[in-house]
Amino acid sequence: MLGFASFSAWAVATAIVMTGAALQGSAGFGFALLSSPILALVDPRLVPGPLIVAVTLLLGLTAWRERSAVDAQGLGWVLGGRVPGTVAGAFALKALGDRALATALGVLVLLAVVISLGRVRLSRTRPLLLFAGFVSGLMGTTAALGGPAVAVLYQHERGPLVRATLATYFLIGALMSTVALVLVGRLGVLEVTLAVGLLPGIGLGFVASRWTSRWLDQGYTRAAVLVIAGLAGLSSVLHGLL
C-alpha cells in the first residue's frame, strides 16, 4: 500500500512519524532525529526524500499555529546561509557520500551544545546565524537533520518564538532540499508516494503537540532544545563512523 512492502510496515512507520511530529510540534524540532534512523531500518527508501516531503505538512501547520511569534529578522539571515548550504549538501551527497560529512557536522553540533552548557552564551549575531544556516543546509540535505545547528541559537527564547521561527525556517528549507533532491535524482514518484503514506502519522502527531507544547512552555524549552540537539549531533557522528 502506497509503496510500502506491507500493512505492518506502514503501521510502524505511522507510529514513528506520529511520535516525531508530536516532538517537533512541541520543541520546535526533533522530528528527523527521532524518525530518520528508525524509518531507515523499516524501509531505507523513506530517507531522506519521503521524510522531507512528509514533514513539509507538519512544518506548515506549526508555522501557521505560531505565526504571531516568528523572529523574521533572524529568519532572514539563517535562510541566507541555508541556500548555499543546501546546494553544497546536494553535490556533496552525490560526489562524496554522507559518512564523512555526517561525522564532521555532528561534531560541530556537539561542540555548540557543549559551549551552551557552559557559561558562554551563543548570541544570534549575523555571522553565527549565517553559519548556522549553512551547516543546517548541509545536514538537512544529506541526512534530514537540519534543526540542531539553528535551534541552539534560540535556546534561551520562549517556546512560541522557538517553534514559530524554526517551523517557518524548516518549511522553506524543506522546499529547498526537495528541489535539490529532484535535481540530483533522489526524489521521484515512488518517494512522493511513500511520503503520502506518512501523512496520517504527521496529522495525529501535530494534534498531540497542542498539549505537549504547553508543558514545555513552563520553563523546559531550553533543556529540550539542548537534549535534542545533543542527541542529533551524536546520531550524526555515529552514522558517519559506523
Torsion sign over Cα 210, 135, 85, 192: negative
d(CA 140, CA 184): 15
Res 203: pLDDT: 95
173 lies in some domain: yes
177 lies in some domain: yes
59 falls in which pLDDT band (50, 70, 90)? very high
Q: Total structural domains in the chain?
A: 1
Res 143: pLDDT: 63
d(CA 73, CA 211): 29
In angstroms, the first-to-last Cα distance of the chain is: 32
2 lies in some domain: no
d(CA 233, CA 110): 5
pTM of the predicted protein model: 0.77
Average pLDDT on 23-49 reads: 84
pLDDT tens-digit profile of 126-169? 999 998 888 887 777 666 667 777 888 888 788 889 899 989 98
Name every residue whose Cβ is closer than 8 Å to that of residue 131 and which is 6 or more positions away in sequence: 81
116 lies in some domain: yes
pLDDT tens-digit profile of 129-139? 998 888 887 77
Three-class DSSP labels, the chain: CCCCCCHHHHHHHHHHHHHHHHHHHHHCCCHHHHHHHHHHHHCHHHCCHHHHHHHHHHHHHHHHHCHHHCCHHHHHHHHHHHHHHHHHHHHHHHHCCCHHHHHHHHHHHHHHHHHHHCCCCCCCCHHHHHHHHHHHHHHHHHHCCCCHHHHHHHCCCCHHHHHHHHHHHHHHHHHHHHHHHHHCCCCCHHHHHHHHHHHHHHHHHHHHHHHHHHHHCCCCHHHHHHHHHHHHHHHHHHHHHC
pLDDT tens-digit profile of 176-199? 778 888 888 888 999 999 999 999
215 lies in some domain: yes
Residue 21, pLDDT above cutoff 90: yes
94 lies in some domain: yes
The grid coordinates of residue 202 equal 504527521
88 lies in some domain: yes
d(CA 178, CA 89): 12
User: Mean pLDDT score of the chain, rounded to an integer?
Assistant: 84
168 lies in some domain: yes
User: Can you give the residue range of the structural domain that contains 217?
Assistant: 7-241
97 falls in which pLDDT band (50, 70, 90)? low
d(CA 111, CA 104): 11
